[in-house]
């Protein structure tokens, strides 16, 4: 990887470049999904999406642990590592930590908002995100349990697309 273009950037330029990269990451994901859906069908796109998002967070969690020295286990380690995950930054999760549980709420989901804006229905993302959160959490601590309170295709409030609950399984 040639990072030489970055060596002369100041903090503001680096931050702007990171914002650019994350935005491009989100746009690439959106067009990939749309084009798979067009070439095949919605069900195929959702199935491939589940497979991809079941794998990528596992790889990311391993690298985040290594790069940022995350040593904590349990919900504390999970939430600390999750803050480095690109989708946490892109989606701007509302994260609430309580005794022995944590909640992630998504007030505005850019992919679903964009679909609505272009006259497309929401896509079924519940199982994809379950796989995403489970694979990420498993790397941090195998005891973390992921429960979906609601996510598309479930009905949801207008001001919230999905909500997830994380707990520790005491039997593991």
CA separation for the pair 72, 83 (Å, rounded): 14
| pLDDT attached to residue 50 | 95
**How far is it between the farthest Cα atoms of the chain?**
52
**3: helix, strand or coil:** coil
Peptide bond into 131 cis (omega under 30): no
pLDDT band at 170 (very low <50, low <70, confident <90, very high): confident
Residue 19 Cα distances to 9, 22, 24, 64, 155, angstroms: 14, 5, 9, 18, 32
Q: How is residue 128 written in tokens? A: 């994809």
- pTM here is 0.92
Contact (CB, 8 A) for 112 and 37 = no
Average pLDDT over all residues of the chain: 95
Residue 172: pLDDT over 80: no
- For the chain, which residues make up each domain, given as ranges? 10-168
Pairing of strands 94-98, 162-168: unpaired
| pLDDT attached to residue 53 | 94
| pLDDT attached to residue 119 | 94
Per-residue model confidence as pLDDT tens digits over 19-43? 999 999 999 999 999 999 999 999 9
Residue 57: pLDDT over 80: yes
| pLDDT attached to residue 171 | 82
| pLDDT attached to residue 78 | 98
* Structural fold of domain 10-168: Muramoyl-pentapeptide Carboxypeptidase; domain 2 (3.30.1380)
Contact (CB, 8 A) for 78 and 134 = no
CA atoms within 13 A on the CB side of 109: 24
| pLDDT attached to residue 110 | 92
Question: What average pLDDT score do residues 144-148 get?
Answer: 98
Q: How is residue 42 written in tokens? A: 């919605």
Per-residue model confidence as pLDDT tens digits over 82-104? 999 999 999 999 999 998 999 99
């Amino acid at each position: 990887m040639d990072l030489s273009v970055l060596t002369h950037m100041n903090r503001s330029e680096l931050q702007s470049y990171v914002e650019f990269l994350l935005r491009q990451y989100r746009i690439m994901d959106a067009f990939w999904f749309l084009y798979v859906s067009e070439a095949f069908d919605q069900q195929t796109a959702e199935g491939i999406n589940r497979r991809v998002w079941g794998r990528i967070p596992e790889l990311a969690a391993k690298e985040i642990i290594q790069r940022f020295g995350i040593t904590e286990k349990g919900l504390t380690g999970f939430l600390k590592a999750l803050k480095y995950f690109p989708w946490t930054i892109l989606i701007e999760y509302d994260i609430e930590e309580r005794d022995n549980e944590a909640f992630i709420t998504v007030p505005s989901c850019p992919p679903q908002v964009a679909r609505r804006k272009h006259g497309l229905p929401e896509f079924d993302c519940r199982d994809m995100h379950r796989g995403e959160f489970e694979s990420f959490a498993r790397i941090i601590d195998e005891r973390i349990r992921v429960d979906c309170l609601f996510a598309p295709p479930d009905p949801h409030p207008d001001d919230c697309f999905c909500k997830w609950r994380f707990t520790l399984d005491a039997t593991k």
